[in-house]
Amino acid sequence: MSQAIAAFEHLEPLTQFLLWIMVFLAVPGVCERCRVPAVLGFILLGWLLGPNGVRLLDPDALVSRIGSELGVGLLLFFVGFEIDFSLLRKARDQVAFFGLATFGLPMLTGFFVAQWNGFGVNASLLIGSLLASHTLLAYPVVERMGLVGRLSVVATAGATVFTDVAAMVVLAVCLLVHQTGFSARMVGLQMLQIAAFVPLMLFGASWLIKQISRRWRLRGETRLLLFFVLVAGGSEAATLFGIDGIVGAFMAGIAARRAVVVEEPAKVLKIISNTFLIPAFFLATGMLIQPAVLLETLRTQPMLALGLTAALLAGKFGAAWATARVFGYARTEMGLVWSLTLPQVAATLAASTVAYRTVNAAGEPLISHGVLNAVLLLVVLTSIGGPLLTQFFGRRLIGASAVTDVPVAVDLPDAAPVQPAPLP
């Protein structure tokens, strides 16, 4: 195996690029034949080729890091860009209710599991917030099935903003308390930063995009670069306000949609993203899988690892069930919403890593290495299981949509959604 890897590394750059193109072409086709989401195929491929497999890919390499960060940023950018605000207004009650439920219930169950395992209040709040957020890892699955216009999916995408921002708020507060003790002034300052960032992106960035588009009369290829600037700029702006960059990318997508940017460059960027950059993020996620570490966590701290997994499943299911009861979702639609909120990747990994590296005056981290391993187990299980469940419920929903009265969004002429490009 080492000889094969060495041979690959000595190939001409163009030959290596051709081989990677063949991989990106082959994985979706193989997954379709096996009737599994392409997302799952890329995650497993990342594990196989990564440092815990044949070691052909290095997650710390500059190319891997750039591809992964651009991939997750673009994934969240297009989730925001394709939100139809006329539909979001129709679903605002669902967004508000489901956002509160899918954040509050998992945080509550995670808090009690952490308390049960002997953690303090501050660490328990942080652990609960790790379960409260979610990554729309399976969004490409519902997009390919043509389900992104359903009010339930719109509500789920809208709730992502609330859960991720709220989780970042809890993280910021817990870090402050752990390092310096509770300070009402510092906590209030963080809340003001977040309160300023959201309208700044929604209205300020939207206005700026309109002005640039009108005054500079950008050509098609230049507008394509403008989208890359929006993704990177939104992410960097979020970090300046103490918020995770993926929230900034999501808000940048919403701002671009509000600015009524010409959609042709967006379609081109979407094709590029779905072909290379978003799969690169899935590959990088797969590289994090460490079977030996996961097994060791299960052996030494089974109640923590399994307890957090059960808390996530129960909390997210409870939120989906309550929303279905209030807004009249059918069982299949409830299952789809539940599955979309299961994957714990971007925000969860970022927050848990920061919490593990943050130490107090006594040199103690906010969360232990065992919690970090348990979170990694959660990432692996939900990254694999979430897309599979989304595909299962999505297919059932498509089959039942002709005979059920599940709430479906109606496309309006003044805010037609971007037609989805073929996804991996």
Distance between CA atoms of residues 49 and 52, nearest Å: 8
Closest CA to 171 of 130, 113, 121, 118: 130
Residues 6+ apart with CB under 8 A from 10: none
Distance between CA atoms of residues 294 and 383, nearest Å: 14
pLDDT band at 326 (very low <50, low <70, confident <90, very high): very high
The secondary structure element, H or E, covering residue 306 is helix 302-327
- pLDDT over threshold 50, residue 386: yes
Distance between CA atoms of residues 49 and 57, nearest Å: 6
- pLDDT value for 401: 62
**What is the three-state SS of 104-158?**
HHHHHHHHHHHHHCCCCHHHHHHHHHHHHCCCCCCHHHHHHCCCCCCHHHHHHHH
- pLDDT over threshold 50, residue 284: yes
| Count of CB atoms situated within 10 Å of the CB of 225 | 12
Structural domain count, the chain: 1
Which residue shows structure tokens 């072909």? 275
Among 54-58, 192-196, 396-400, the range scoring the smallest mean pLDDT is 54-58
What would the mean pLDDT of 367-391 be, rounded to a whole number?
83
Burial 10-30 (b: 16+ CB within 10 A, else e): eeeeeeeeeeeeeebeebbee
The secondary structure element, H or E, covering residue 254 is helix 245-258
- pLDDT over threshold 90, residue 349: no
3-state secondary structure of 375: helix
Distance between CA atoms of residues 230 and 81, nearest Å: 11
- pLDDT value for 10: 58
Q: What is the CATH classification number for the domain harbouring 402?
A: 1.20.1530.20
What angle, 0 to 180 degrees and rounded to 10, lies between the N-to-C axes of helices 92-116 and 302-327? Answer: 160
- pLDDT over threshold 60, residue 287: yes
- pLDDT value for 107: 95
- pLDDT value for 204: 86
Report pTM.
0.72
- pLDDT value for 9: 56
Alpha carbon of 280 to those of 23, 277, 286, 375: distances in Å? Answer: 11, 5, 10, 21
- pLDDT value for 413: 36
Closest CA to 377 of 246, 318, 289, 269: 289
Task: Identify whether 65 is part of a domain.
Answer: no
pLDDT higher for 308 or 183?
308
pLDDT band at 316 (very low <50, low <70, confident <90, very high): very high
- pLDDT value for 92: 82
Distance between CA atoms of residues 366 and 351, nearest Å: 11
Task: Identify whether 33 is part of a domain.
Answer: no
Task: Identify whether 37 is part of a domain.
Answer: no
Task: Identify whether 285 is part of a domain.
Answer: no
Average pLDDT for the chain: 79
pLDDT in tens, 390-416: 989 998 888 776 444 444 443 433 334
Q: Whole domain around residue 241: which residue ranges?
A: 74-273+290-415
3-state secondary structure of 195: helix
Residues 6+ apart with CB under 8 A from 300: 370
- pLDDT above 90 as % of the chain: 15
Which residue shows structure tokens 């993280």? 171
Task: Identify whether 26 is part of a domain.
Answer: no
pLDDT band at 170 (very low <50, low <70, confident <90, very high): confident
- pLDDT value for 16: 65
- pLDDT over threshold 70, residue 2: no
Task: Identify whether 10 is part of a domain.
Answer: no
What would the mean pLDDT of 179-196 be, rounded to a whole number?
75
- pLDDT value for 404: 46
- pLDDT over threshold 90, residue 321: yes
pLDDT in tens, 220-275: 667 777 788 888 888 888 888 877 677 788 888 888 887 765 566 677 777 777 77
- pLDDT value for 131: 92
According to DSSP, the residues that pair with 365 across neighbouring strands are 359
Residues 6+ apart with CB under 8 A from 177: 122
In one-letter notation, the amino acid at residue 46 is G
- pLDDT value for 410: 38
According to DSSP, the residues that pair with 359 across neighbouring strands are 365
Structure tokens at 73: 């940023």
Closest CA to 102 of 152, 160, 147: 160
Task: Identify whether 146 is part of a domain.
Answer: yes
Which residue shows structure tokens 């570490």? 293
Closest CA to 234 of 260, 214, 215, 208: 208
pLDDT band at 337 (very low <50, low <70, confident <90, very high): very high
What would the mean pLDDT of 306-335 be, rounded to a whole number?
93
Task: Identify whether 306 is part of a domain.
Answer: yes
Find out whether 354 and 239 touch, Cβ atoms under 8 Å: no
Q: How many CA atoms lie within 13 A of 7 on its CB side?
A: 5
Distance between CA atoms of residues 68 and 229, nearest Å: 16
